Amino acid sequence: MLLGLLPPSEGTLRIDGLAPRAFVEREGVAYLPELMQLPLQWRTSEALDRLATLAGIAPRAVAAARERVIEATGIDEHRRKRLKQLSKGNLQRVGLAASLLAERRMVVFDEPTHGLDPVWTVRFRDIVNGLRRPERAIVIASHNLDELERLCDRVAILDRGRVQRVVSVRGRDGEDARSVRRWRIRVVSGAEVLARLLHRARVDGEHVECEIDLPGLNRALAEAITGGAMVAAVAPIESSLEEAFRTSVNR
C-alpha cells in the first residue's frame, strides 16, 4: 500500500498529503523487497545500471551511483557475476544496493536482513543509521524484534492485520518504571535471601528470576545487599519490545 501497488480495503492512506501512487510517481520510493526477483542472467553491475536508469538517474550519473552502492554494500567482488551465481545473502546485498541508488524521502525495507550473515546484519544497521534524516521516513517490516529494537524509533506491533500497539523503543516517551517485568539476577552469595524479598522468585543455581516493577526490585536488592548478599548482574529476561509484543498479541 505504501508503494501504491495495492489500495487499502478501507480507510485512507496518505504520504505527505498525497495518495501513495501519486507520491511515488512524483518522488519515488527506495524499496528493498524480502526476496529479490530479477532476471538471473543479468550480471550484478548490469542489474544496478538498469535499475539506476529505471530510478530516473541521469545517464551521466549512473556509473557514479553504481560504484557508490557497490562500495557501500561490499559487493565489488561480485560485480561481474551473474545473479544466478550469487548466494541468498549476496543477492540480498544487491537488492540493498539497488534501494540505495537514488536519494528518496521514503525508504521501505521488507525483511532486510533476510539471508544476511552476522557481519552484514551489523553493517546493515550502520547503513540505516547513515540514512537517517529529519525529512526522511524509513519503514522496516521484520519479525526480528532484536533488530527492530536496535534500529527503530518506534515499532508498530501488528496482529491479524490490526495495529495492536505502537512502542517507542528509543525511550523518547519514557518507560513506566512501575510496570512489572521479568528479571534475571546473578547472585554470588545470598540468593535465597534475595528470593524471599522478591515477588514470585525462582532460584536456579546462582541466578534468581522474578517478576516485579523497578522500584520494588531496587528495594529488594538494597535490602539483600545490606543483609550481606553479593549481586553480580541484573538484566531483564525480555527486552522491552519483546515484552510489549508478548503482551500485545497475547500468545
Domain residue limits, the chain: 20-142, 181-249
pLDDT tens track for 67-107:
999 999 999 999 999 999 999 999 999 999 999 999 999 99
Q: Which amino acid is at 56?
A: G
Q: What's the mean pLDDT in 200-209?
A: 89
**Cβ atoms of 92 and 122 closer than 8 Å:** no
Give backbone dihedrals phi and psi of 25, rounded to 5 degrees, phi first: -65, -30
| Fold match flag (20-142 vs 181-249) | no
Please determine, for residue 172, whether its predicted confidence score (pLDDT) is greater than 50. no
Please tell me the distance from the alpha carbon of residue 112 to that of residue 37, in angstroms, as a whole number.
Answer: 14
The dotted CATH code for 20-142 is 3.40.50.300
Please determine, for residue 179, whether its predicted confidence score (pLDDT) is greater than 80. no
Q: Which amino acid is at 47?
A: A
Please tell me the distance from the alpha carbon of residue 246 to that of residue 238, in angstroms, as a whole number.
Answer: 10
Task: Indicate the SS3 state at residue 136.
Answer: coil
**Cβ atoms of 47 and 83 closer than 8 Å:** yes
pLDDT tens track for 11-44:
999 999 999 999 999 999 999 998 888 999 999 9
> Architecture of domain 181-249 in CATH?
2-Layer Sandwich (3.30)
pTM for the model stands at 0.72
